[in-house]
Each structure stands twice: as C-alpha cells, then as structure tokens.
Amino acid sequence: MRLSGKTALVTGAGRGIGRSIALKLAAEGANLVLNELDEKPGVEVVAEIAGRGGRAVLVPGDVTAADFGTRFVAAALEHFGTPDIIVNNAGYIWDNVIQKTADEQFEAMLALHLAAPFRILRAAAEPIRAAAKREAASGQEVFRKVVNISSLAGLYGSAGQSGYSAGKAGIVGLTRTLAKEWGRYKVNVNVVAFGFIHTRLTAPIGSAADTIEIQGRAVKVGIQPKYIETLEQLIPIGRAGTADEAAGAVYLLCTPESDYISGQVVACAGGLLV
C-alpha cells in the first residue's frame, strides 16, 4: 500500500492502459477520481475498485470540454482532498498523411493530447500551491506527482500522425515547464512515452474494434497486421507491451522513490527507441 491515502486523478480510465493505471494505483491504496468519455466502462472500473476494497468516484465526459479540468479537480477536492497524483492518460489516435488531414482532425489531436492536460493542471495549481504552503509552514515535505502520457511518436515523429505526434511532443514541453514551476511546491512532473502497447487502438485493422465513436464521429483506429509483425520484430524485448506493463511505468513515477526525479521522459517501449 505504497500510496495509502493519496488522492489520484486518472483520465481515460475506463479501458486499456487507463483502466490498468487506475486498478494499480487503487491496489496501492490511493483514492481514485476517474474519468471516462463513455460512462458505462467508467462505472465498471469504479465498481471493480470498490469490490476490491478501494474507493473511487467517476467524472464522466469529454476531457476537451472547456470546463472539464475545473469539474475534475473539484470532484477530487469534494470527495478526497487535494490531488496528490494526476495522470493525464485520455487519448485516441486519428491518423492520416498531412495532405489528407483536415483542420478539425489536427486540432482535435492538439485539444485532446495537449490542451486538455493543460486545463486540468491549471485547475489543480491553486489547491496544490495552497496545500504545499501549509505543509511547508508546518515543517513537512510532501511530494506530489504528475505523470503525463506521451508516445514515441511525440519524441521521434510518426508517418501519418502529424496531429498526434504534435500533441504528444507538446506535452513534453508542458511537463518540463511545470517541473520548473512546481518544483518549489514539491511536485514531480514527468512523462511516460509509450511504444507499441496492446490496446483496442493498436489492434489489427479489420478486427471488430477498428472503429471507435468520438463525439458522434466514427474514427478508424488500428494497425495493419503486417506492420504489427514488423514492429514486434524491431522491439528488442521481442513483443508489444501489455496495458499492465504500461501502468507499471506510470506507477513507478508515483512512488516515493521518484521524489527527486522531475522533468524527465521515461520510454516504456521494450527497448524500441526509434
């Protein structure tokens, strides 16, 4: 129970990596404030945590809504107290080569992968500052954690993913800025950049889950089966990662052992770094 009593906020927690992150943090004692665009899987994760003896509440809805960050942080303050851990995980991919990428498509990727985390962290800034000030006045040194999710696409680019790559690169800049701004509040702000992780977004094209619905839009997701085979051959560990392994990388940056690590990018990619 390394995180006993901590208040953790996780976006996109109803499926895949987000679900695994939520379950991992709850298993280590954190109280969870979860978000999921689709309410049903979010409710199921909350029930699963409760069934294991944990505590969780759900704030359903679109993280890109202008008021979402304020509502999300307010739910944490109402139910559990000042945020101790914030994981900006919500995301999806909407790919195309640049000449076929509409403004709406590009802007949707920036809104989701960069602007939404910015608004959540901005909303959390004052409660965290006030708590840090109280703790410092009483002689305490309490560390808090922000883990933003990026991708190898954000570090090195990825053909057909101009919007996604730009958003995931931007979150690295935001992370390093906040590491400098929030160090005085004892907040560690880091990035986990995922490589090829098995989720519904990376399933083979042609599978039952190769189209998702986002705000009334049908968005094609998935990877060509031949490319999956080639990609796994390039990964030094020899296979794609699992959602639980991805969650483990996030968890590492939420533990006390990371108290002097900030502004860093940790690649969770099985050794693939291109």
Q: Please give the positions annotated as active site.
A: 164
Contact residues for 179 (Cβ-Cβ < 8 A; gap 6+): 188, 189, 190, 262, 263
SS3 content of the chain, % helix, strand, coil (to 5): 45, 20, 35
Instruction: Give Rg (Cα) of the chain.
Output: 18
Length of the chain: 274
Query: What is d(CA 236, CA 56) in angstroms, rounded to the nearest whole number?
Result: 37
Please tell me the distance from the alpha carbon of residue 170 to that of residue 155, in angstroms, as a whole number.
10
Residue pair 157/97 in contact (Cβ under 8 Å)? The answer is: no
Distance CA 273, CA 195 (A): 8
Residue 201 token pair: 């977004």
198, two tokens:
């098995």
b vs e for 36-48, b when ≥16 Cβ sit within 10 Å of the residue's Cβ? bbeeebbeebbee
- β pairing state of 187-194 and 211-214: unpaired
Cα 74 from Cα 81, distance rounded (Å): 9
**Spatial CB neighbours of 71, under 8 Å, sequence gap ≥ 6:** 59, 61
Nearest to 188 by CA among 112, 75, 264: 264
